Amino acid sequence: MKKKLSIIIFILTLCALKMYAQEDSVISTEVGITEHLGSTIPLDLKFTNENGEPITLRKIVDKPTILSFVYFDCPGLCSPLLEGVSDVIKKTDLTLGKEYQVVTVSFNFRDTPEKAKKKKEIFTKRYSKEMAENWKFLTTDSATIFKMIGSVGFHIKAVGLDFVHPSAIVIVSPEGKITRYLYGISFLPFDLKMALIEANKGQVRPTIQRLLLYCFSYDPQGKRYAMEITKLAGTIIIFFIVIFFIVLLIIKRRKVSKTIVNG
């Protein structure tokens, strides 16, 4: 009976691990973020700003910078992400333009400076002049896009004219070193402030938010984050299987110890 139970548990473990492997493989190879903490972004890549002017990141990244990656016709994550960025800018007590700046890069080569300008107006005109002056919206060609998003480990997938993509902002130092990733579509002022202060010092910090994204995924139809039931169920199953095997091992050792003592 015990052997049959052990075999069943072993099979369930393999199934759960296979489920994890398949799901993680899809995420890592198609859509998601591979963190490149400590790496330097390619500062000499050529972009066009919202005014149609050619520019490189080297010319504008001279202070801690918030990088966001979107495309301007996005029906899902991009607008909530930019709304989250503009909202946290209002709430943080650091001075935009003096202590940090924001750069948004479109990863759709079809996007134009005209689209960039319209999108920028939506998220800056209702706030302050400082936000408009210190939040750059950039477009470029496909080759440059893939070099740029590749440098920060940003994996996207084209689906027709749209894209499936992760949602995060990347914090870089004045030298262009990647120091922090902040995930999601809304951000805490304290988290952003600490990330920018650390970026100014060139200090790299690991990302705690990845644990939250392990349990939640974005639902583009409902425009909200939903709990990953499959992942959570798999985690719970594996946890109890491990506990069960540990208990069996302890019981077996105790029986062996008693047999030796009685013998």
Confidence band of 149 (pLDDT split at 50, 70, 90): very high
Average pLDDT over residues 229-237: 57
**In Å, how far are 183, 235, 236 from 225, measured between CA atoms?**
12, 19, 21
- Residue-range definition of the domain harbouring residue 172: 31-226
**Do 171 and 47 share a domain, yes or no?**
yes
pLDDT digits 0-9 by tens, 185-230: 999 999 999 999 999 999 998 765 444 444 444 444 444 444 455 5
**Do 248 and 221 share a domain, yes or no?**
no
Q: What is the dihedral of CA 168, 174, 176, 179, to 10 degrees?
A: -50
What's the pLDDT score for residue 118? 94
**Do 183 and 233 share a domain, yes or no?**
no
**In Å, how far are 46, 173, 176 from 56, measured between CA atoms?**
5, 16, 12
Confidence band of 69 (pLDDT split at 50, 70, 90): very high
**Do 176 and 248 share a domain, yes or no?**
no
**Do 119 and 203 share a domain, yes or no?**
yes
Q: Is 23 exposed, middle or buried (0-12, 13-18, 19+ CB in 10 A)?
A: middle
**Do 222 and 233 share a domain, yes or no?**
no
Query: Do 100 and 135 form a contact (C-beta atoms < 8 A)?
Result: no
Q: Hey, how many other C-beta atoms are within 10 angstroms of the C-beta on 250? A: 10
Nearest alpha-carbon partner for 58 in 94, 109, 103, 107: 103
**Do 20 and 72 share a domain, yes or no?**
no
Token duo for residue 239: 């946890």
E strand or H helix at 243: helix 229-262
**Do 20 and 71 share a domain, yes or no?**
no
Average pLDDT over residues 94-103: 94
Token duo for residue 10: 């072993």
**Do 250 and 236 share a domain, yes or no?**
yes
How many separate domains does the chain show? 2
**Do 21 and 146 share a domain, yes or no?**
no
**Do 6 and 98 share a domain, yes or no?**
no
Residue 153 pLDDT exceeds 80: yes
- CATH code where residue 214 lies: 3.40.30.10
As a whole number of angstroms, the distance between CA 157 and CA 106 comes to: 14
Is the pTM for the entire model greater than 0.75?
Answer: no
Confidence band of 237 (pLDDT split at 50, 70, 90): low
Helices (H) and strands (E) in the chain, counts: 9, 13
Angle value at C-alpha 166, between 163 and 167, nearest 5 degrees: 115
**Do 129 and 254 share a domain, yes or no?**
no
